[in-house]
Amino acid sequence: MALSGMRGLSVFISDVRNCQNKEQERVRVDKELANIRTRFKNQRGLTAYEKKKYVWKMLYIYMLGYDVDFGHMETVALISAPKYAEKQVGYIVTSCLLNENHDFLRLVINTVRNDIIGRNETFQCLALTMVGNVGGREFSESLAPDVQKLLISNSCRPLVRKKAALCLLRLYRKNPDVVNVEGWSQQMVQLLDERDLGVLTAVMSLLVALVASNPDGYTNCLSKCVYILERLTKSQDILQEYTYYGIPSPWLQVKTMRVLQYFPVIEDSTIRKGLFDVLHRILVGTDVVKNVNKNNASHAVLFEAIALVMHLDADKDLMSQCVALLGKFVAVREPNIRYLGLENMTRMLLVADVSESIKKHQAHIITSLKDPDISIRRRSLDLLYGMCDISNAKDIVEELLQYLTTADFAIREELALKAAILAEKFAPNLAWYVEVILQLIEKAGDFVSDDIWYRVVQFVTNNDDLQAFAAAKAREYLDKPAVHETMVKVAGYLLGEYSHLLARRPGCSPKEVFHIVHDKFPTVTTPTKAILLSAYVKILMHTQPLDQELQVQVEEVFKRCENVVDAEVQQRAVEYITLSRKGSSMVDIMAEMPKFPERQSALIKKAEDTEGESTEMSATKLRQQQNSMALVVADPGPANGGLPPPSEQLALPEPPPPSVETAAIPKAYVNGTSSPHPSASTNGDLLGDLLAPLAIEAPPVTTPPPPPSQVDDPGDPLALALYDQQVNQIKPIGSIEDWFRALSLKDSGVLYEDPYIQIGIKSDWREAQAKVVLFLGNKHTASLVNVRVLILPAPHLKMQFSQVPDTIPPRAQVQVPVEVVCLSASRETAVLDFSYTTSTLPVSVKLRLPTLMNKFLQPAPISASDFVAHWRALVGPPTKLQDVVRGVRPMPVSDMGDLFNSLHIGVAPGLDPNVNNIVAATTFYSQAGATLCLVRVETDPSDRTQMRLTVASQDPNATYELKEFIKEQVIDIPVAPVPAPAPSPAAWGLTGPAAALVGLI
């Protein structure tokens, strides 16, 4: 833009640049804004040149970071100007100052449309650029047909058509309904024949978005995409301006291969052969050169080609060629190239039959563990972890143990965890596993979690042949001068239980073992001392008949601990000194710990939580993740035959309890229901499984079909019935009522769970708006197909949610963001209609979402005088409503106050002189604004089952809805007997959302 003729603008910019500090700049900007505001108020004598100059100044001020809250009408008015210079200013400044929801944009829709359908190509480009930058839903509904006509028009110049394609892409993202698949499928085929690469690149960007949401509708574009790749790779008719460092239009190549990854495997042999020839040409023609820009472009094409090869499930030769090329990248010195090679080789682990090819580069991968760049070290660790199997486990684990002593502190914990898991998964024998873990504790004790040494104890307890070996190894490590406290824990436990097996070995008599262990007693923390006290009494117990000298030494230790501050150590000392005097009867009391019931390792779950972003998925799912707000977080599961089936792996129980007494290990419970997965987290934190990559504890157990007489379970009064009366053979593993009640008071938790899937919610409620994320976690080892998610909003809610993939991969999680806006007060809730298919069993459920009225309430602190003033101003119905509520759940006044506070109705103590009454205030937020609501509850001390409830606010609807909502929360609803089946909504002629709402009512 030429601004040289605007002297006033140039002077203003010069003044701002010459300011010595921020305060001087603010003074100069405020002075200029005041001048502009004055001139805009008095439009007389304001020429088009001056208006244009002032609008440019406003844009410059906005670019400096200052708020510009006026002049928008003048800016929009310039769009209607007949001259190019003024129209250009209007379009550019409007694009910068206004967003898609600004009311002023509605004023220019007709003007923009006239410019688009006009004959002036310059005006068309200005209009398309502005719509492509700020166009919202209203623009898409009004302008999409005209933009489509420009795109397919043969009379328009390529520049206009390119802008039309990008503009249509913006409108499609805002409103997918503007593009009809049936009508546009053939149009896209014709557009892919475009010879101009600029237009073709823009059209391909549009196609990526279209195919991402509906790949089946555009399968006829597949052959055209392959032809485009052939044309580019053979450099046919490519203008020099579209060649980047000798690479024909790398951006178009990347977009085209990305489109092909959305289509299923190509069946046509001719097309498939042509595509493989193109991919082979890309793989062969890519190498590392000194020019950084050329490397970036060629590698972008290469890695997209590798992703396409993985998606197409190409032959083994092509896969091996990809691995060999990545191996060259791993061996180069350039860190960026090596990082990309490691990252893409990790993705290749998802493909079958390539593990042997990757193992050939194991030496270079291990060398990368010592790279100065920590990101490369992390990628190397991930790749080694993924490529490890029974054939190379010993080599990899030994390298990890050697690297552990020099590794950065930021990576040591993850490194120790992965080394422990690899040793457990692929141990050639249990003795090797125990020795590896003890080395791990010695080298990185601070970074070894308790779960790791718990597993050693469980292995040793459950394997009699291992006990003497483990005790001897523990004895060796305790002899060393510097011993980590974790080593003291595991050695103390093992020697306490099994030191008697070493009694005939030199230096392993009970007295010697006691002294070796007790030497570490003064230097350890209190929890470790409790373990050592248990070890002492066990050592003493194994010397039958009792060694009097050893008994005296042990009892002296116990007596010194009788008066310690820590209650656990004190209690053990008192109990053990009594037990030590029981003689032979102590043997029965202090018997060896029994064998643990078999459970899957908790380390596997912890590893999945730690992996985070390192987990990968198929190329198609990656593309869907990039183009959809619904995120799929997947775990690749066992690679290279690593993890055996649950019945074959080294499955052991949870860690032993600190007490030496035999204790029954409780079952894991999920929301009050016995879980079919015994290794589920005992703390019941199910949301932790939702927000982290999904942890699979055990294969789900298919619930057998119930007898016909037990099909329906109406026990959940808050659970929605299946409106189509479909019988689900898969039943939830908890109470839907309990889950919903918990979520009505919390912002995160579990909404639904069965043996195959877990649906969780995490939400952030801010006044009238909320961001809710649904977590759909596949717990099964097979994919869930035919996944369908439909949210039926209540009339008072405005909700938008992203599309959900039809398939959820094994042990994967889909995140579905939902935007919620409250339009008015209501007690109705939205409905989640969810269905999927697994093992040919269809499952369909309809669940109430916790979009209750209290989510849009915020406690309102209020003084006594303000409360009385507002209360008296609201004289009666409909703004002040009173009701006598009977059947109230009996509770003290303090408990009722806590209930109100949990519902975001802020109780104001002391405002009412009667201690049996409650006075509260809250603010209800909706799109219309904030409404102060006052509540007064009068209770009868002699009869807590009734109360008088008064609610007042300026909004009659909010008053009534809040009154009824409070009544629902305090009334005790008895569980009624099972009624006769009611006629289904289908019998009333209702379907879809209407049927869902009828079921709710």
pLDDT at residue number 599: 67
Contact between residue 386 and residue 349 where contact means Cβ atoms under 8 Å apart: yes
Q: Give 142: exposed, middle or buried? Use CB within 10 Å, 0-12, 13-18, 19+.
A: middle
What contacts 763, CB < 8 A, 6 or more positions away?
747, 748, 770, 771, 772, 773, 850, 855
Q: What is the pLDDT of residues 420-462, one digit of tens each?
A: 999 988 888 999 999 999 999 988 888 888 888 888 898 899 8
143: which residues sit within 8 A by CB, 6+ positions away? 109, 112, 113, 116, 131, 135, 171
In whole angstroms, how large is the CA radius of gyration of the chain?
A: 36
Alpha helices in 812-945 (DSSP H): 864-873, 893-902
- What pLDDT, in 10s, does the model give residues 20-32? 999 999 999 999 9
- pLDDT of 202 reads 94
Provide the 10 A C-beta neighbour count for residue 898. 13
Which regions of the chain are under pLDDT 50? 1-2, 612-726, 974-1001
CA distance 202 to 479: 71
pLDDT of 833 reads 86
The pLDDT value recorded for residue 28 is: 93
Residue type for 738, please?
D
Long-range residue pairs from 473-477, CB within 8 A, at least 24 positions apart, any chain: 473/434, 473/435, 473/438, 474/438, 475/499, 475/502, 475/507, 475/508, 475/513, 475/516, 477/438, 477/442
Supply the DSSP string of 126-144, one letter for each residue.
HHHHHHHHH--HHHHHHHH
The C-alpha atoms of residue 448 and residue 261 are separated, in whole angstroms, by 42
What is the enclosing helix (H) or strand (E) of 632? strand 631-634
Give 3-state DSSP helix, strand, coil % of the chain, rounded to 5: 55, 15, 35
User: What residue type is 30 in one-letter code?
Assistant: D
- Considering only CA atoms, which of 807, 790, 818, 803 is closest in space to residue 212? 803
Q: In which residue are the tokens 């099994």 written?
A: 498
Q: Which residue has the tokens 């869930």?
A: 784
Residue-level pLDDT at 639 = 36
pTM above 0.85, yes or no: no
Q: First CA to last CA across the chain, in angstroms?
A: 61
- Report residue 598 as tokens: 């078999």
SS3 814: strand
DSSP letters of 727-784?
Answer: PPSS--SS-HHHHHHHHHH-SEEEEEE-SSEEEEEEEEEETTEEEEEEEEEE-SSS-B
Query: What's the confidence (pLDDT) of residue 5?
Result: 62
